[in-house]
């Protein structure tokens, strides 16, 4: 099967990557990270989350971060929005896209947002409607599409159901997310096949965590199906607070190296991307969690 000639990456490091950090990360550091990512050529960046600071104190500076970034033409800046109150706050920051979320696992939905899958979709319906009316794009994050920390394997039928519900409220594109990183290539392909019953291939992105070291294999499996939009996290930042032991999203550096090796265009400067990973990792007091970044840094000496 012919692979895509170009892939667009969404770096979720500033939001998904940092939200679970215990130590406070200053707004100035988050702003600098976004600047460095777009300087390296990233055209889509998930910047922050408009959730209650009581639940996610790391994102309490959301408006400050959005106001502080220097926006570049052609770059899409997205934010996570949990409800109408979050939408009202987010709208003042003028994002290009909001992200709503739902799980293919009933147990995960209850643990994560204290409601059923159906209730979560009901909650998001007015948010999606308001965003579309304001001319702001809407992406739906579909979590636990292959595995759940509470239910184990998740069937493709559950994924198709969630995709149908998201399509029904007006979500324009969706992420097929292996939230806890237990997926393998064929399972990921089945989840994508299920999603394709309601969304076109151009409106599907892959979001693969690397807990079991399968993220790049799963990316290749998605590429074989024609997926050309992927999410990753600079320096491999992140994890899942509701899944013990789950590691971060696949490192953007590792993903770019794979894609370059396949002759697939990304528009990303790998050296500048490594520098961005070094910057945020230094701010957190550790080394980048990226094999490619480690190799390049060793080579630099």
Please state whether beta strands 8-11 and 229-232 pair in parallel, antiparallel, or not at all (unpaired).
parallel
Torsion sign over Cα 134, 28, 12, 273: positive
For residue 213, the tally of other CB atoms under 10 A from its CB is 10
Residue 234 gets which letter from DSSP? G
Phi/psi of residue 290, nearest 5 degrees: -140, 125
Closest CA to 139 of 254, 15, 280: 15
CB 177 within 8 A of CB 141: yes
CB 232 within 8 A of CB 255: yes
Longest pairwise C-alpha distance within the chain? 54
Q: Is 296 helix (H, G, I), strand (E, B) or coil?
A: helix
Residue 109 half-sphere exposure, CB side, CA atoms within 13 Å? 20
d(CA 219, CA 177): 11
Active-site residue 240, yes or no?
yes
CB 163 within 8 A of CB 174: yes
Q: What contacts 60, CB < 8 A, 6 or more positions away?
A: 53
d(CA 177, CA 249): 10
> Which of the following is catalytic: 115, 144, 148, 240?
240
Residues annotated as catalytic (active site), given as ranges: 240
């Amino acid at each position: 099967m012919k692979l895509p000639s170009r892939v667009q990456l969404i770096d979720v490091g500033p939001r998904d990557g940092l939200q679970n950090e215990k130590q406070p990360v200053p707004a100035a550091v988050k702003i600098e990270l976004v600047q460095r990512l777009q300087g390296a050529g990233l055209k889509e960046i998930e910047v922050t989350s408009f959730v209650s600071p009581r639940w996610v104190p790391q994102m309490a500076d959301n408006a400050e971060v959005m106001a502080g970034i220097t926006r570049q033409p052609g770059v899409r800046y997205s934010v996570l929005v949990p409800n109408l109150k979050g939408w009202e706050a987010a709208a003042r920051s003028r994002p290009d896209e909001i992200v709503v979320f739902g799980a293919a696992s009933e147990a995960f939905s209850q643990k994560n947002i204290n409601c059923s899958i159906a209730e979560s979709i009901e909650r998001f319906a007015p948010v999606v409607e308001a965003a579309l009316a304001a001319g702001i794009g809407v992406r739906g994050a579909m979590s636990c599409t292959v595995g759940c920390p509470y239910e184990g394997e998740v069937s493709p039928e559950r994924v198709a159901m969630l995709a149908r519900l998201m399509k029904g409220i007006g979500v324009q594109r969706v992420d097929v997310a292996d939230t806890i990183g237990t997926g393998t290539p064929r399972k990921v392909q089945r989840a994508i096949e299920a999603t394709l019953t309601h969304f076109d291939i151009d409106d599907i992105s892959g979001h693969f965590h690397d807990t079991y070291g399968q993220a790049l294999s799963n990316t290749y499996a998605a590429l074989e199906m024609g997926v050309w939009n992927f999410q990753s996290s600079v320096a491999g930042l992140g994890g899942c607070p509701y899944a013990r032991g789950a590691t971060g999203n696949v490192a953007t550096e590792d993903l770019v190296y794979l894609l370059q090796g396949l002759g697939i265009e990304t528009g990303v400067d790998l050296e500048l991307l490594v520098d961005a990973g070094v910057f945020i990792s230094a701010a957190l007091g550790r080394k980048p969690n990226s094999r490619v970044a480690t190799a390049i840094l060793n080579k630099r000496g």
